[in-house]
Amino acid sequence: MRLIHAVPLAVLLAACATPAPLPEPVAAPAANAGKPAPAERIKSQPLKHLAGRSLKPIPDKELEVRTKCSFHDVAGGRGSMDLQVTKAEVKRFVAEVTIPKQGLCRFDMKNFTQTARLPNVVLTDDASGCVVRMWEQEKGVTVAFNSCQSKCSGDAFSYLWPILVDTRNGRCS
């Protein structure tokens, strides 16, 4: 029975013990007072796949695209777009996308102003906050939509994907 009383007493005494005091921080010399400590330089580590390669940044070039296309997808959605961009200046832009059981989205250049040319072409509708971005990658141009719920009926904007244009043949999807 005495061992049963000794264990809780030892645990209680151990909990009351105070830890050893921590050493006080060393004060900085007066010569460096008020100056921040020099920051350690963090050295960038290349990815193992990029080691030994000499990669250069992709140059900004003015977007050039012209298409009048229509498309449909496997889910039954369909759309059309008339787009002309010359030297990163949008000359014509009209797009319409129908999404089954969700609604219709319509975009027309007359409602937008061009707010950027490089690296991406950007169209903005100040009244609704809708932003349309266009950029080229590989052999295609992407036309993407952001905050454009007001340009769509129903819940169509939730299902709206970017429109891709193949610059080799002018087809879109």
Q: Domain map of the chain by residue range?
A: 65-166
Distance CA 61, CA 119 (A): 7
- Interacting residues of 155 by C-beta distance below 8 A, sequence separation 6+: 102, 103
- Sheet hosting strand 113-116, strand order edge to edge: 113-116, 121-125, 130-137, 140-146, 163-166
In tens digits, the chain (173 residues) has pLDDT values of 555 666 666 666 666 666 666 666 665 555 555 666 667 777 777 677 777 777 777 677 899 999 999 999 888 999 999 999 999 999 999 999 999 999 999 999 999 999 999 989 999 999 999 999 999 988 899 999 999 999 999 999 999 999 999 988 989 98
Whether pTM exceeds 0.75: no
Residue (of 139, 130, 128) closest to 93 by Cα position: 130
